[in-house]
Structure 1
Amino acid sequence: MGGSLGIICCFILGALCAWLGWVPDYLLGHEATVYVLYVLMLLVGFSIGYDRRLGEILRTLRPRVLLLPLATAVGTFAGSALVSLFMVYSMSECLAVGAGFAYYSLSSVFITQYKGAELGTVALMANIMRELITLLFAPLLVRWISPLAPISCGGASTMDTTLPIITRYAGQQWVFVSIVHAMILDFSVPFWVTFFCKL
């Protein structure tokens, strides 16, 4: 949870610095966010390629494991579409925010690039909240629903920040499912977000 709070603090600090005029104009332009996005994608590639478990995970992958990320995506899109009925944003914009699957660092940059800073901020906060809800309510989700519930709730974060809490309350046997779930959702985020932003 400390990592999420640190990200929120950095976001508030950045917004405050820009509001006070302490940020150079060249950092506020469209080009700067695109370059940051490229660096972010490069770092994501590094972290996935460096993980020695990747080959083992892919070798032991069974088709049935793919049902959970599919269910997570369908549930997220259904929830986002339902929420759009009560929001000032269009359904496609709400679906773009939901398509972040708790991958706030990537989805918020894409959404800011396509739809502007306001919706990008909504995406950042919504996806951070998804991760925080998973961290806080994982024990209750396991007890009241199923060991798969916190994995689905965690979205793309189940390979890193929420994995320890899922392992602790759901059990070690769900580590493999959590990692595959997050990998699939991680790869899908850029495609889904840009698709809904272009609608």
Structure 2
Amino acid sequence: MIDGLEERSIGGETGLATRGEPVYGEPTADGWRLWDRSRSKLAVLLDRGVDTGLEAGSTVLYLGAASGTTVSHVADLAGPTYAVEFAPRPMRDLLTVAEDRQNLFPLLKDARQPESYAHVVEPVDVIVQDVAIRGQADVALANRQFLKEDGRLVLSVKARSEDVTRDPEAVFAEVKERLAEGYTVRYAESLEPFHDDHLGIVAEPDR
């Protein structure tokens, strides 16, 4: 188990928890806050015991941070956490989340244009990507430049964002094939029943 991540029973619910200020109405007790798997793809992987590469003190680039639900838990555990979000509205919420986390750095940027934040982001141990747009593998490849040689990509692929008309399995196969142009996939499994038509991927950069 990662330091700072524990299984806890809080408010009648049992699951993984981190220590930090509450963000989205999650159950809390004694400074611990439950990490809701139904609202976080990364939480599903961690609950399954998947080796995501995330450790206490890791440097993280989070793509698609939205209003901060998952990235707040990541920042509770990690070291410097760079949170990229394109939309101004959720960014306002993310800025509020960052007020309680000095290691969380919100960036109002487009994950498809990593050159716009390359001057800010240092080499990272983990890239966590949850970007619901077409071309999710392309985003992962474009941001590979930030990942250390022994780092990990943790990618949540939303099939319906790639093509709502196609069979999700066909979409997933295509994404994995595209990823192979810069990564070696070590894990790829459905995130159901918590997230329909989503595939969780853990990959390493090709050396």
Structure 2 length normalisation: TM-score? 0.26
* Greater RCO, 1 or 2 (C-alpha within 8 Å, sep 6+): 1
Q: Compare the two structures and name the one with the higher strand fraction.
A: 2
Larger Rg computed on CA atoms: 1
